[in-house]
Amino acid sequence: MRTSSLEENGGIPGGLLAFMALIAGMAIANLYYSQPLLEQIKSDICISEIQANLITVITQVGYALGLCLIIPLADLYSRRILIIINLFFSAIMALIIANSHSILVLWLASLIIGICSITPQFFMPVAGQFSAPQHKARDMGIVLGGLLTGVLSSRIISGFIGEHFGWRVMYDIAATLMFVCAGLSFIILPEMKRNFKGSYLGLMASVWAIVKEYPRIRVNSIRGFFAFGSMLAVWSTLAFHVASEPLNGGSDTVGVLALCGIAGILASGALGKYIPKYGTDFFFLIGGALQIVSWIIAYVFSETYLGLAAAIILLDVGLQFQQLSNQTSCFQELPTAVNRVNMIFMTTCFAGGALGTFFAGLGWKFFNWPGVCAVGVCFAVISVFVSLYAKRVFNGK
């Protein structure tokens, strides 16, 4: 049954929390379906590896634009209606991609499906605002676990479907799933309190005021920028690496490697309750160290599936340490403007993801897999340095 409304700090019913996690996973999957399919898309449309890589870059740029322009609206308008609209347009764009024979049309539809795939970033602030105080980090971890399940399963399903039925069928399935999600959201999602009264221009002006006034939000966003760029670097070129000598794998192999990301899902569900005890800075530094180690393993054992699997596990677990610590810290800074705070943080993260993907593509073009590893480890190291420098500054105040 549909809950009529949610009360701030009043708790979220378990069934509704599970539903949000499910929809978050299905919506975020649209960002990642293309990654195991890049080799197939390249051959089918007769494009270069750089042009194929731009599909993932453009999708992530679209996601960053959606975070920047649409997520703040959730403080001004009905979150329920915004979620339904984004799910519906995701379905339309998936249909266009499935029937596209032009790289320009595919790029444009990828941009829009990226913009419309922001649903999980409506749900994270919901967990932060409406969960009971003692369960906020735990509930955010549950929603993040759903999101990560979507990231993981998208690559597995996409690789399998692409290998056996073709990449276009994958997007037909994605469109169907988004239509179903939009219908279920219309039936199940409750109305939620709005956090801002005024105009859209006033809302956006308040975003810049938050950026200027809260240095910890700036730091969390900047270090998230580099951490996310490091993680996405591996997935933007993994299909090319696996397809080359001596691995000689297909899109389904990329999907199987994505199974290793289940460690990240398990970590996100278990870590939340420990953040209040050990602190967000400690958790972020642990995650950064895991990312650096993962890239070293990816380079040294680049010609073995076992080495790649170990690198992916550490990379995903490391990112979840970083993501949970960053978002928990951000929401604690300004709980009355969680959607705008989340917009600042996630827009910055996905801008970093797009940049990491782009540089990974260049690294692959000029230096193959070692170039990709160099990009990934550089992004991870910078994120750690930002965190250490900021910790020193804040502790010195």
| Block residue for tokens 């910078």 | 382
Cα dihedral 378, 368, 232, 236 in deg (nearest 10) = 160
Question: For the chain, how many structural domains are there in total?
Answer: 1
Residue 161 lies in a domain: yes
C-alpha–C-alpha distance, residues 44 and 135, integer Å: 48
Q: What is the pLDDT of residue 89?
A: 95
Alpha-carbon gap, residue 350 to 357, rounded angstroms:
10
Q: What percent of the chain has pLDDT over 70?
A: 93
pLDDT of residue 146: 83
pLDDT in tens, 211-254: 999 999 999 999 999 999 998 898 778 888 888 888 888 767 77
The neighbouring-strand residues paired with 191 are 5
The verdict on residue 159 lying in a domain is: yes
Neighbours of 67 (CB within 10 A): 25
Please give the helix or strand (H or E) that residue 7 lies within, else none. none
DSSP characters over 202-233? HHHHHHHHHHHH-HHHHHHHHHHHHHHHHHHH
Domain that includes residue 374, residue range: 14-396
Higher pLDDT, 109 or 335: 109
CATH of the domain at 185: 1.20.1250.20
All residues at 6 or more sequence positions from 110 whose CB lies less than 8 Å from its CB, including other chains: 34, 55, 58, 59, 62, 93, 97
Q: Is residue 284 part of a domain?
A: yes
293 within domain boundaries? yes
Q: Helix/strand/coil (H, E, C) string of 133-171?
A: HHHHHHHHHHHHHHHHHHHHHHHHHHHHHHHHHCHHHHH
pLDDT of the residue at 27: 94
Segment 55-65 mean pLDDT: 86
What pLDDT score does 284 carry? 87
DSSP structure class, residue 190: P
- For residue 378, pLDDT over 90 is answered with yes
Q: Is pLDDT larger for residue 57 or for residue 298?
A: 298
Q: Which of 52, 200, 182, 192 is nearest to 117 (CA)?
A: 182
One-letter amino acid at 208 equals W
* Domain annotation covers residue 192: yes
**Does some domain include residue 7?**
no
Instruction: Give the pLDDT score at 289.
Output: 94
pTM: 0.73
The 3-state DSSP class for residue 78 equals coil
- Phi/psi of residue 198, nearest 5 degrees: 150, -160
> How long a stretch of residues is the chain?
397
